[in-house]
Amino acid sequence: MNDNLRILKPLFRGFPIIILVMVLAVLSAKKYLSYVTPMYESTAKLKLADTEEGVPSANLFKDLDVFATANKIATEIEVLKSSKLMEKTIAELPFDKEIYRKGDIRTVELFGNSPITIEGTFQTEKALDKRYGLNVISKKEYQFFYPDAKKGIQAIFGKPLKIEGGTLLVSLNEPYIQSKNDAKIIDSYEIEFLSTQKLLGKINKDLDIVPVDKDVPVIRINLKSNVPEKAALFVNKLAEMYIKDYIESKFKAANTTVDFLKEEINSSNKKLSASENNIQNFRDKKNIVNIRQETETDLRKISQLKIEQTNIKMNLEAIKELNKYIASGKKNYLDLAPNFEAFTDLLSTEMVKNMKKLQADKKDLLLTYTPEDEKVKIIDAKLKDLIDYQVESIKNTEKNLQIKYNGLSNDIAESEKAFVGLPEKEKELTILNREFSLYETNYNFLNSKRIDAEIARSAKIAFHKIITPADVSQTPVSPIRSIIIVVAAILGMFGSILIIYLVHFGKAKVNDEFTIEKNSTIPIALSTPFIKQNENIKENFLKEAIQMELKGMLQEQSILVISSYDQAKDHLFHSKNLVEGFINQGRKVLVIDATGQLEGGFDAQDYLNFSNPKYLSYTQSVFQNEIQQKMENYELCVLHNQSIKEDKLALLFMSLATQNLIVLDSRKTAEKTIIKMELLKDEFKLPNVWFVLNRAGYNPNVLVEIKKIWNKYTKKSSC
């Protein structure tokens, strides 16, 4: 706790400085704010069309905006930042010229509230991006100054002024002057015509285009400007130009697409017509109506013919067998039993029945008549006729079947000729049909796309829209007055604290007992506080005399040497008042003065002055003998020593001491003195060395110190 308070003591001491510096910092910040040019920010929000959601996702609007795609927000941001779109935007705005009112401390841009107007035409870009001066002398005349020029060019309002690289026309802004009764015209101005490159650079420096959220198709366009109207105008115009550029790009793309599609459709139409003619010519040449149907018909026909041929062949084989069988047994025809399965017509059946009947009748007649009988012969004749007819009929039937069979074979062979070269025809027709199908598909596709493109060209709309237009900002975003003042106060506070501690550690004074104990093994005998009132001095030193006695420092006929390092006056206060304290205790004290500063302060018989230069030649033993002779009638000897830094007799007197008191002033003595005394003690074997801390715990306010210095200075001045 004490250590923390010790660290804070310099802070308490320099508290007035901290307050003063903070006040000065705040005043400086306010002064700065009164001169600095404020920056205003305007923001516009732009919603991008989303083909997956909302109105653009409807089928109707998908057709209208066929060129819309699922937007990537980062891509659209880069489009907004593109120099092409920026150039289109600034071309729509009066940002290419700037007029400033020139003051003694700051220059303010006039935008929309300038009492003068300027127009310029330039033959070279060298005349751009330069600050020209303009001093209005009266409502009729003005002076024009080139950059860094001392001498101006006299000119008249409303008349062209030729300058290096161009021509200027400066006029009075009559509407503004009439609207402002207190408009100040006669003043100093600066004008600048900006090149596109510089204007883009100025805008890009303060332009910020970011998405509201990575998953939300909304873009925020921010611009900072010292003129709030400029910021609002630009972000709104940029959003408008983005939408306008999108519509124009879409129209151009659709128009180009329509023209391209028309050319392709004409070309495709020609190819399609040629393909149709090729198919027609091929069908005419090959006599093709429908290969598949014709093939199926021919196959069915051949199949039917082959079935008929098979049936006829079976009948023909049966007839041939029958004919062979009859031919082999022709003489005994009636004894034959042929298989008439292949000869089953009604006539043959009836003839066989008649023959069997005649044969039965003959058998009946032979029972009565002889074979030579006329009746039997008649029946034989009838049988012979029927048998001959039957045999001939079988032969004719065989011939007829053979003819039919041969005819069917010829028909089948002829029908099968239709399949000769059929795969080749099918292949060629397939190729022609495929070519036609490709051209037809391409033609239909192109027509469909042409319709879409014509719809897109006709529908001059976009689903991008400005959902929040930018307003003219009334409050500057930088500098933020409250933050600047607070930061200035904080910086002033920390800066002053830093300086206080730098000075504190730079001076490196003794300050307190802790510093002594940290740097030396020499004990502290006394800690004398800062005594404000003289009546308290006696009481304090009586108390210190008692403390010394209790510590065993005051023996019979002890020699007490009181010293300081820098100047003898640093320990004069202690030497004088300790002697008086010992005397007030009733002690008989011999006062030895090595500086002459105590002369006249004590009785002459109790005072011994060693300040004369003759004593510089005395040795230690001489001083020791002389002091011992004087000490015979005294209880205590107090020697007011010279400063140790002068080192004439100081160390010699200290070597004679019974107790050595070295006075350290908390506000004056340097910290390094402690280490020096430690080294001197070890080097010269000084006996019983003690430190005395003067003004212990004294931490005066800086104002008090300044007051003391001031009083001291005024006293010197009065003298």
One-letter amino acid of 597: Q
pLDDT for the residue numbered 221: 93
pLDDT for the residue numbered 383: 73
Q: Where are the alpha helices (DSSP H) in 595-665?
A: 620-630, 650-656
Please report how the helices 196-206 and 83-91 are oriented relative to each other, as an axis angle in degrees rounded to 10: 110
Mean pLDDT of the region 241-251: 84
Cβ pair 239, 44 in contact under 8 A: yes
In the Cβ-directed half-sphere of 653, how many Cα atoms lie within 13 Å? 31
Say how many C-beta atoms besides its own lie within 10 A of residue 45's C-beta.
Answer: 17
Residue 374 has pLDDT above 70, yes or no: yes
Q: How confident is the model at residue 656 (pLDDT cuts 50, 70, 90)?
A: very high
Q: Which residue has 């002024």 as its token pair? A: 161
pLDDT tens digits, one per residue of 624-642: 999 998 888 899 999 999 9
Q: Any idea where the domains of the chain sit in the sequence?
A: 2-36+481-505, 41-248, 293-423, 508-710
DSSP state of 46: E
Q: How confident is the model at residue 57 (pLDDT cuts 50, 70, 90)?
A: very low
Q: SS3 sequence, 432-470?
A: HHHHHHHHHHHHHHHHHHHHHHHHHHHCCCCCCEEEECC
pLDDT tens digits, one per residue of 466-500: 888 999 988 888 888 888 899 999 999 998 888 88
Distance, CA of 131 to CA of 145 (rounded, Å): 9
Pairing state between β 107-110 and 116-122: unpaired
pLDDT for the residue numbered 420: 66
Cβ pair 68, 217 in contact under 8 A: no
One-letter amino acid of 686: L
pLDDT for the residue numbered 331: 55
Cβ pair 205, 234 in contact under 8 A: no
Residues 6+ apart with CB under 8 A from 170: 116, 117, 118, 134, 142, 144, 155, 157, 158, 161
Q: Which of 147, 155, 107 is nearest to 128 (CA)?
A: 147
Residue 508 has pLDDT above 60, yes or no: yes
| Token reading at 514 | 């802790």
DSSP string, 139-153: SSEEEEE-TT-SS-E
pLDDT tens digits, one per residue of 532-570: 888 889 999 999 999 999 999 998 889 999 999 999 899
Q: Which residue has 């024009």 as its token pair? A: 144
Distance, CA of 130 to CA of 237 (rounded, Å): 26
Q: Which of 202, 206, 121, 127 is nearest to 164 (CA)?
A: 127
Cβ pair 421, 226 in contact under 8 A: no
pLDDT tens digits, one per residue of 661-717: 999 998 888 989 999 999 999 999 999 999 999 988 887 766 666 666 677 667 666
Q: Which of 348, 364, 296 is nearest to 339 (CA)?
A: 348
Q: Is the peptide bond before 56 cis (omega within 30 degrees of 0)?
A: no
Distance, CA of 351 to CA of 180 (rounded, Å): 144
Distance, CA of 316 to CA of 336 (rounded, Å): 20
Residue 436 has pLDDT above 70, yes or no: yes
Mean pLDDT of the region 378-393: 77
Residue 155 has pLDDT above 80, yes or no: yes
Q: Kindly report the backbone phi and psi dihedral angles of residue 606, in degrees, each rounded to the nearest multiple of 5, phi listed first.
A: -100, 10
User: What percent of the chain lies above the pLDDT cut of 90?
Assistant: 32
| Token reading at 196 | 């596109």
User: Considering the chain, what is the average pLDDT of its residues?
Assistant: 83
pLDDT tens digits, one per residue of 185-233: 899 999 999 999 999 999 999 999 999 887 788 999 999 998 999 999 9
pLDDT tens digits, one per residue of 171-180: 998 888 888 8
pLDDT for the residue numbered 291: 66
What is the b/e burial string over 292-330, where b = at least 16 CB atoms within 10 angstroms of the residue's CB?
eeeeeebeeebeebbebbeebbebbebbeebbeebeeee
Q: How confident is the model at residue 269 (pLDDT cuts 50, 70, 90)?
A: confident
Mean pLDDT of the region 85-98: 91
Q: What is the CA radius of gyration of the chain?
A: 68
Please report how the helices 2-13 and 481-507 are oriented relative to each other, as an axis angle in degrees rounded to 10: 110
Distance, CA of 289 to CA of 283 (rounded, Å): 7
Q: How confident is the model at residue 135 (pLDDT cuts 50, 70, 90)?
A: very high
Q: How confident is the model at residue 308 (pLDDT cuts 50, 70, 90)?
A: confident
pLDDT for the residue numbered 69: 46
Q: Which range among 73-87, 423-437, 570-584, 647-661 shows the weakest confidence by mean pLDDT?
A: 423-437
pLDDT for the residue numbered 694: 93
Question: 3-state class of 356 per DSSP?
Answer: helix
CATH number of 508-710: 3.40.50.300
Distance, CA of 70 to CA of 97 (rounded, Å): 40
Cβ pair 136, 185 in contact under 8 A: yes
Q: How confident is the model at residue 1 (pLDDT cuts 50, 70, 90)?
A: very low
Selected residue with higher pLDDT from 308 and 135: 135
Selected residue with higher pLDDT from 322 and 267: 267
